[in-house]
Amino acid sequence: MLKIENLHAEIEDKGILKGINLEVKAGEIHAIMGPNGSGKSTLASVIAGNETYAVSEGTITLDDEDLLDLSPDERAHKGVFMSFQYPIEIPGVSTTNFIKTAINENRKANGLEDLPAKEMLKMIREKSELLEMDRKFLSRSLNEGFSGGEKKRNEIFQMAMLEPKLAILDETDSGLDIDALKIVANGVNKLRNKDNAVIIITHYQRLLDHIVPDFVHVLYDGKIVKSGGKELAHELEEKGYDWIKELA
Amino acid sequence: MSLQEKLISSFMVLENQGKLDLDSSIHDIRTEAISVFEKQGFPTKKDEEWKYTSLKSVLKHDYSVFPIAENSIEFKDVKKYFLHEIDSYKLIFIDGVYSSYLSETTHDGYDICLMSSALKKPKYKMVIDNYYNKIVNKKESVTNLNTAFSTEGAYIHIPKNIVLPKPIQIINFYTGNEKEILLQPRNLVIVGENSHVQIIERHQSLSSNVVLTNAVTEIFANKRAIVNYYKIQNDHESASLIDSTFVQQKESSIVSVNTYSFGGKLTRNNLEFYHEGEHIESHLNGISILNNKQHVDNHTLVKHQTPNCESFEIYKGIYDDASTGVFNGKVIVDQEAQKTNAFQQNNNILIGDRATINAKPQLEIFADDVKCSHGCTIGQLDESALFYMQSRGIPAKEAKALLLYAFTNEVVEKIKIPELKTRITKLIASKLGVKLGFDM
C-alpha cells in the first residue's frame, strides 16, 4: 500500500531524513521507534504533506500513486490520515462542524454527495461512544482548552470518522493516562481491517502492549537502522536506545 | 465651487425657501452648526482624528444636497435587505424621504416614528429640547454638517418599563435616481427606565450611482435601560458612509453597538459613549471584512466619568487585496471613575499583499483603582492550523475561509437576535466566498 524509497527530507538545508525505505501492506501495523530527534515526527509530517519540510530525494507512493505531488488535502482524499502529536486549537469552529466539513470535503473529492445529516449524526454518536468521549467536547471549539489526553482522543475520533486507508499515529500515547490509552488503543483496534494499515510512531513501548505491531522499525539519525517483529519493541524497552546508536 | 461652498450656499437657499424650521429652536441649532461647519470645513488628513482617512475622493462629486421627489421601490425588489424572517417595526427611507408603504410605525404607548414630525409638532417639543443635539461631538465638522441640514430620520422614544415586543429596523435606501447624492439622516433614540429596545440599521444603495451618507444618531439610555443596536454596512462600492453615533448612559443601563462593515467604498464610524451614573455596561462590537480598495475607519471613544462602570470593546478585521482599515479606540477614565473595568481588544488579519491596517489603542487613565486592558494584534493566517485542516481533507481555500470565519465567530456570538445572527453569518460566509455546510 505505502511504499517509501530512499526518502531524504530537510528543513532549512538541514538534513533530517537521510534515506528511508519502508513498505507497509494493507492489514499491517508498523511501529516506528527511536530516540528524540531521530526524525520520527518528520517522517509522519512528510507523508502527510507538511510543506515545512522539503523532500530532496526519494519517493512516496500510496497504491502506486505518487504522493509527493499532492497537497495535504489531496493526500487525505486518497486516504492518508495523521494524528498530530500536538493537535492544533481552532477557536470558533466546533469539533462537530469541523468533522462534518472534513467528511463532506473528502466525499466531494471522491465524487460523492454530502452525507445526509441524519447519517452524520448517527456516525458521530457511534464513533464518540467508541472512544468514550464526553459529548460536550463535540460542541466545543476544536481542541480549545482541551487537556492533552482529550486532544489525542479527539484525533482518534476524527480518524474513526474519516476511516482512512493509512493512519499515522504520531506520539498518540504522550499525554494519555493509562485508562485513556486503553480506550484509544481499543478504538484503533476496532477500526482495523484487512484493507487499511497503521503506522505508530512512539518513543515508548507502552502503546504497543495494546496495539500489537506486526513490524517494528528503529529510526536513528534519519535512517531505519533496525527492523524486526514486536519483540524488538521489548528489547528497546529493556536496553534503551544506546545500543542502537552503535548500529548506525 | 467646492462642496463646502456649495453646501453653505445651499443652506441659505433652503433657509430662504423656508424648509429649515425657521420658527423653531431647531433653526438656531442649525444656524450655529452651519457657521461652525463653515469655519471647520471638511476634515483633512492633517486633523489627528482623520489622519488615516482621506475624504478627498468622496468630496470631489457634485452631490445633489436635498432630496425632492419621492421615489418608489417595490418591496419584492428590496425584501432581501430586510430581516424579513421576524416581525418588526420599520422605518424606511428612500433617497432620504420617508416611505410610508414600506414602514410600520407606532404611537401606541411609545413613539417609533419620523424625525421630521418630531422636529415640527409641538407635542414633541419638550423631548426635542431636552435631547436633540445634546450629546453630539460639536468638534466634529461632519456632525455639524448633519445638524445643519438634516430633516429626516428615525425618532424613537420609549417611555419607562417597556420591553419592546419586536425589534426596529431602520433602512435607508438609495435608488440612484440622482446621479450623485448626499444624504444626511438623523436618528434620535430615547429609552426610558427599565425599557428594552433592539434596533437594526442599514444603509443600502440600489444602483451603482454615487452616494455619500453622513448619518448621525443620538442614543439616550436611562436607568436600567437595555439597548442593542446593530449596524449592517454592506453597501455597493460606489457608496460611502460617515456614521456618527453618540450614546449617553444613565445608572445600571446596558448598551451595545454592533458594527458589521462588509462593503462600501469608504466607511467611517465615529462611536462615542458617555457614562452618567454608576454600574453602567457598554459593549462595542465590530467586524470588518474588506476587499478590493475598500476603506473602513472605526473610531471609538468610551468616556468613563463615573465610578463602578464597565466597558467591553472587541473589533475584528480581515483585510484582503488593497483594502485599508483603521482602528482607533480611545478609552478615557476620569479621576472620579474609580473601580472602572475597561476591556479593549482589536485583532486584525491581513490577507492581501497590499492591505493595510492602522491600529491605535488609546488609553487615558486618570483614576488609580481601575482595571483596564487592551490588546491589539495584526497577523496572518496560522500556517499550522491550515496544515492541520488540510490534513483532514479540507482544501486550502475552504480551510482559509473557515479559519477566517472562526476568527470572527467570537463577535458574531454576541448577536442577541437569532435570525440576525444567521443573517450576519451568511453575509460573512458570502463575503469570504465559503459555503458553510452548517450553522455556527
Percent of chain B at pLDDT > 70 equals 97
Which helix (H) or strand (E) covers residue B341, if one does? strand B341-350
Residues 55-94 (A) with a CB less than 8 A from some CB of B: 71-73, 75-77, 81-82, 84, 87-88, 90-94
What is the phi/psi pair of residue B75, to 5°? -55, -40
> Tens digit of pLDDT for each residue in B16-48?
887 777 667 889 999 999 999 999 999 999 999
Asked if B318 is an interface residue toward chain A (Cβ–Cβ < 8 A), one would say no
pLDDT (0 to 100) of residue B68: 66
pLDDT (0 to 100) of residue A246: 78
Q: Residue A179 — very low, low, confident or very high, per pLDDT cuts 50/70/90?
A: confident
pLDDT at B436 over 70: no
Report the candidate in B135, B144, B327, B157 with the shortest Cα–Cα distance to residue B245: B135
pLDDT (0 to 100) of residue A247: 75
Chain A CB contacts of B438 under 8 Å are: 96-97, 100-101
Chain A CB contacts of B410 under 8 Å are: 91-92
- Yes or no, beta carbons of A105 and B395 under 8 Å apart: yes
Grid cell, residue B313, equals 470593546
> Tens digit of pLDDT for each residue in B147-182?
999 999 999 999 999 999 999 999 999 998 888 999
Asked if A157 is an interface residue toward chain B (Cβ–Cβ < 8 A), one would say no
pLDDT at B240 over 70: yes
Report the candidate in B276, B279, B297 with the shortest Cα–Cα distance to residue B288: B297
Chain A CB contacts of B395 under 8 Å are: 71, 73, 105, 109
- Say if CB B221 and CB B252 are below 8 A apart: no
- Yes or no, beta carbons of B387 and A102 under 8 Å apart: no
Q: Comparing A245 with A212, which gets the higher pLDDT?
A: A212
Chain A CB contacts of B345 under 8 Å are: none
Chain A CB contacts of B382 under 8 Å are: 88
Residue of chain B nearest A155, judged by CA positions: B392
What CATH number is attached to the domain comprising A177?
Answer: 3.40.50.300
pLDDT (0 to 100) of residue B335: 96
Summary mean pLDDT of chain A = 92
Instruction: For chain A, give the longest Cα–Cα distance.
Output: 57
CB burial of B10-30 (b: ≥16 within 10 Å; e: otherwise) equals bbeebbeeeebbeebebeebb
pLDDT (0 to 100) of residue B434: 75
ipTM exceeds 0.85, yes or no:
yes
- Alpha carbons B302 and B299: distance in angstroms, whole number: 10
User: Mean per-residue pLDDT for B110-122?
Assistant: 94
Summary mean pLDDT of chain B = 94
pLDDT (0 to 100) of residue B440: 44
Asked if B401 is an interface residue toward chain A (Cβ–Cβ < 8 A), one would say no
- Overall domain count for chain A: 1
Chain A and chain B share a number of CB contacts under 8 A equal to 90
Asked if A49 is an interface residue toward chain B (Cβ–Cβ < 8 A), one would say yes
Asked if B404 is an interface residue toward chain A (Cβ–Cβ < 8 A), one would say no
**Residues A73, A61, A78: CA angle, nearest 5 degrees:** 35
| DSSP secondary structure letter of residue B267 | E
Question: Residues 6 or more apart from B354 whose CB is under 8 A from it?
Answer: B321, B322
Residues 167-196 (A) with a CB less than 8 A from some CB of B: none
> Tens digit of pLDDT for each residue in B373-420?
999 999 998 899 999 999 999 999 899 998 999 999 999 999 999 999
Q: Residue A242 — very low, low, confident or very high, per pLDDT cuts 50/70/90?
A: confident
- Owning domain of residue A217: 2-247
- Yes or no, beta carbons of A100 and B409 under 8 Å apart: no
- Alpha carbons B104 and B98: distance in angstroms, whole number: 11
- Alpha carbons A201 and A169: distance in angstroms, whole number: 6
pLDDT at B67 over 70: no
> Tens digit of pLDDT for each residue in B359-383?
999 999 999 999 999 999 999 988 9
- Alpha carbons A15 and A82: distance in angstroms, whole number: 22
Percent of chain A at pLDDT > 90 equals 73
pLDDT (0 to 100) of residue A127: 93
Asked if B163 is an interface residue toward chain A (Cβ–Cβ < 8 A), one would say no
